Structure 1
Amino acid sequence: MDLELYRTFLAIADSGGFTSAAEIVGRTQSAVSQQVKRLEDAFGQPLVDRTATPVSLTEYGKSLLRPAREIVDMHDEAMAMFRRTTFEGVVVVGVADAYVNRILKDVLTEFRSLLPQGTISIVIDGSLDLSRRIANGSVDLAFVTEGNCPTRGPVAFTDRLVVVGPSAINLSKVDPLPVAVWDERNQDELPLVAALEAMGRHYRPVCMCRSVHAQHQAVTANLCVAVLVEGSMVEGERAYLEEDGFPVMKHLNIRLERSYAKRSPVIDRLGKHYLDFFARQSADAAGK
């Protein structure tokens, strides 16, 4: 059986349509339709319900989903054993600035473990700008926040947006609350404003900046609190939670987006490698 038939079938199952699947596998919609027909002829059963919107799998298609994925994964894993030391090109990986403290070291380390002869180019930016770079192909893979930009990639890990303050002193009872802010365009600060209004509290901007790193510096300097990602906290910070009178601001899904501007088995393997790594990391954390 042609392995590409399975890849196309999985692309349809994951994306829910022939058009989006064609973009994923780098073929025309007509070619994708012909590949599915070949697969259906080989099994002698209809695999895709073309009348549904979005396109859905028949019961036969659903039963093929797991073995098809295993076949493709086993093939990719076998090929990776022979290719991992030979790739010498450049892969561009984007990391939303909010997660640099949490994942950048792992992103670099895991790249080297899979592609020791390759070069990784790191782009640090906001989720929205990274999604634009993904769309135009200037970034190959990117870790971005669901809801802050268009996303369709799988969830790599989860986190929480919380009020973060210095650990050396407790600023939670100070009124007005000293806060590090970006500007009126930062939607992440709106939940804090709503929470403070509900508590009958006021806040005072004491530091204005357009850098997550600068916000961390302001917090660890004992100047203020900031709305930051819990998993990216640094030494000298702690989360201000219920015991301090603050709720969790937001639960976050961080998705791994992949550019389909060009096809590359190397980028596919690296993306899967990252997803597997963070899945194991989450499982280890849950088991503690």
Structure 2
Amino acid sequence: MQLLDNDLLKSFVAIAEHGSFTRAARQVHRTPSAISMQIKRLEETVGKTLFVRDAKQVRLTAEGEVLLSYGRRLLKLNEEAMQQFFSPKLEGRVGFGTSDDVGTRILPRLLSQFSRSYPAVQIDVVVGSSRANQQKVDAGELDMALVVVGNEGQETRGEIVHSEPLVWAGLEGGIAMHQRPLPVAVANQGCVWRWMAMNSLDQADIPYRVAYTCEHSSGQEAAMLADLAIAPFPLGLVRAPLRKLGEDLLPEMGSYQISLVRGGNNPINEALTAYVKEAFADFNS
């Protein structure tokens, strides 16, 4: 049985992510004809057609989607193995701040992958509100933090690493969404989700009342499960028995962003930043 060639996988993943042989060729520094020959070799190796080509775009076949998952993991393992031998050895600690809605989704994979590459680095995770964590970065208590941004007129600091729709959510079959004034569960003043929710309700002239407050999304989820209120919630966190509430009843809020704010540049911060970006890229793919 033949083994998969890393160079072929690298070109294959580039085409899948860019949707174009030409753009992928520029990324891997090859000509379009050379990268086309690579895909032909890869398809001969696995015995399957990996792409459907038409005039406007290149799409993965079902077999191609399966190989993409394996390809990304194989390339990542190869990179981690090389880092063990050729990357500068890092030792020390890094303070990392995040909110609970972000942490529950990317932290397990992020911490696992980073610790395999840099086992001598201690990561101290602080879960708190975006405002509190950003203040801790400014005070030197944290090295970096993921903060939610989106308030009108708010200065956006750091680097945007994620964007996601904010939707209205509530208990499936619940009565909270039908009450007036509308009971909502939000965080305290200064929260981006709170501002987006109240601004949309004000513009739609829908009467509401703050029925529940909590700085953590888990607390807002509890209020919805108890059918005390509905809440603005990231689309990716809405799961049964909660459901997304229809736009025919409530106004759209748009998307919010997550920014990575860093307190300074050093080798550990740089290394962890790369893993944070990759974790979000994997999450969004």
Instruction: Verify same fold: TM over 0.5.
Output: yes
Q: Distance in 1 between matches of 2:104 and 2:180?
A: 30
RMSD between aligned residues? 3.2
Q: Distance in 1 between matches of 2:234 and 2:131?
A: 17
Q: Could you tell me whether the CA contact under 8 Å between 2:160 and 2:260 is conserved in 1?
A: yes
- Secondary structure of the residue aligned to 1:267 is helix
Q: Distance in 2 between matches of 1:134 and 1:217?
A: 29
The match for 1:134 is 137
The match for 1:109 is 112
State the Cα distance separating 1:217 from its structure 2 match: 0.9
The match for 2:220 is 215
TM-score by length of 1: 0.59
The match for 1:162 is 167
The match for 2:270 is 268
Deviations 1:96-126 (A, max 9, x none): 3442333333333333233234321101122
Q: Give aligned pairs, total.
A: 205
Q: Distance in 2 between matches of 1:137 and 1:233?
A: 34
The match for 2:99 is 96
Task: Give the aligned residue type for 1:220.
Answer: L
Q: Could you tell me whether the CA contact under 8 Å between 2:188 and 2:194 is conserved in 1?
A: no
Alignment of 1:237-256 (within 5 A): 237-243=242-248, 245-256=249-260
Change (3 A) 1:151 1:83: farther
State the Cα distance separating 1:264 from its structure 2 match: 2.2
Greater mean deviation of Cα atoms: 183-192 or 138-147: 183-192
Q: 1:230 aligns with which of 232, 235, 244?
A: 235
Q: Distance in 1 between matches of 2:158 and 2:199?
A: 31
- Secondary structure of the residue aligned to 1:273 is helix
Task: Give the aligned residue type for 2:252.
Answer: V
Q: What stretches of structure 2 of length at least 5 have no aligned partner? A: 1-78
The match for 1:37 is none
Change (3 A) 1:151 1:179: closer
Change (3 A) 1:124 1:84: farther
Task: Give the aligned residue type for 2:115.
Answer: R
Alignment of 1:1-288 (within 5 A): 80-82=83-85, 86-147=89-150, 150-169=155-174, 171-184=176-189, 186=191, 188-243=193-248, 245-260=249-264, 263-282=265-284, 284=285
State the Cα distance separating 1:180 from its structure 2 match: 1.8
TM-score by length of 2: 0.60
State the Cα distance separating 1:83 from its structure 2 match: 6.5
- Percent identity, please: 28
Q: Could you tell me whether the CA contact under 8 Å between 1:80 and 1:269 is conserved in 2?
A: no
Change (3 A) 1:172 1:96: same
State the Cα distance separating 1:218 from its structure 2 match: 0.9
- Secondary structure of the residue aligned to 1:275 is helix
State the Cα distance separating 1:270 from its structure 2 match: 1.6
- Secondary structure of the residue aligned to 1:129 is helix
The match for 1:40 is none
Greater mean deviation of Cα atoms: 76-85 or 264-273: 76-85
State the Cα distance separating 1:250 from its structure 2 match: 3.4
Change (3 A) 1:196 1:147: closer
Q: Distance in 2 between matches of 1:170 and 1:85?
A: 58
Q: Distance in 1 between matches of 2:269 and 2:197?
A: 38
Q: Distance in 1 between matches of 2:187 and 2:223?
A: 12
Q: Distance in 2 between matches of 1:162 and 1:173?
A: 17
Q: What stretches of structure 1 of length at least 5 have no aligned partner? A: 1-75
Q: Distance in 2 between matches of 1:144 and 1:218?
A: 23
Change (3 A) 1:214 1:133: same
